[in-house]
């Protein structure tokens, strides 16, 4: 951990303003930021706890109680209606993917399976990419071929950061450059 220094009594050279007041204000604002960060942290923790409690009541406790007494719906004394609804969710676990696909095929549900074909081309292979796209589109059974050209967000961010850091002039509006100012107090 780095050492902490108290600059609250530090007075700088006069630069045309009252630096003592400015340093006191900066100190006060930094303290306020820390207090705000703590309040947000407490509020997020309370929200997570409330969501977990709501989930427990709404997804387990109340439906289980209503099932136990043989009801799927009740009307409260306030007039509000409580109904147990069933939603079906599905997700094939990775270890069963092949078996699940095989079952779908064998049971006449192979149409549910979609194959996405992705072929990577580098910049020097643009002609080959265009040729393959045209070949797939012009087949006797044309295929729906889509082409997407993009720069991955992390690659763009690294490029812009490097160019700006090295002092190169780039069209910032074109690249959507945003310079965020952020104070972090640890």
Domain of 132? Answer: 94-165
Which of 56, 83, 110 is a domain's end point? Answer: 83
Position 7 in a domain: no
Measured in whole angstroms, the distance separating CA 9 from the mean position of its chain's CA atoms is 43
Alpha helices, H only, 57-152 = 62-68, 97-106, 126-137
pLDDT tens per residue, range 42-80: 999 999 999 999 999 998 899 999 999 999 889 999 999
Sign of the torsion angle spanned by Cα atoms 137, 138, 139, 141 = positive
Same domain, yes or no: 135 and 101: yes
Per 3-state DSSP, the chain is made up of helix, strand and coil in percentages (nearest 5) of: 50, 5, 45
CA distance 81 to 74: 6
Q: Is residue 142 part of a domain?
A: yes
Distance, CA of 74 to CA of 58 (rounded, Å): 14
Task: Output the pTM of the full model.
Answer: 0.52
At 46-55, the pLDDT tens digits run: 999 999 999 9
């Amino acid at each position: 951990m780095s050492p902490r220094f108290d600059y609250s009594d530090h007075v700088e050279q006069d630069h045309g303003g009252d630096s003592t007041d400015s340093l006191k204000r900066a100190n006060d604002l930094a303290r306020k930021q820390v207090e705000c960060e703590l309040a947000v942290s407490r509020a997020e923790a309370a929200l997570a706890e409330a969501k977990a409690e709501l989930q427990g009541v709404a997804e387990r406790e109340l439906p289980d109680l209503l099932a136990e007494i043989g009801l799927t719906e009740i009307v409260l004394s306030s007039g509000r209606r409580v109904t147990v609804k069933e939603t079906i969710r599905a997700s094939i676990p990775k270890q069963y993917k092949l078996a699940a696909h095989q079952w779908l095929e064998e049971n006449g549900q192979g149409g549910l399976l979609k194959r996405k074909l992705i072929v990577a081309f580098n910049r020097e292979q643009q002609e080959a990419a265009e040729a393959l796209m045209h070949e797939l589109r012009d087949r006797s059974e044309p295929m729906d071929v889509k082409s997407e050209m993009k720069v991955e967000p992390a690659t763009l961010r690294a490029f812009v950061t490097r160019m700006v850091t090295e002092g190169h002039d780039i069209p910032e509006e074109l690249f959507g450059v945003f310079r965020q100012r952020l104070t972090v107090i640890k």
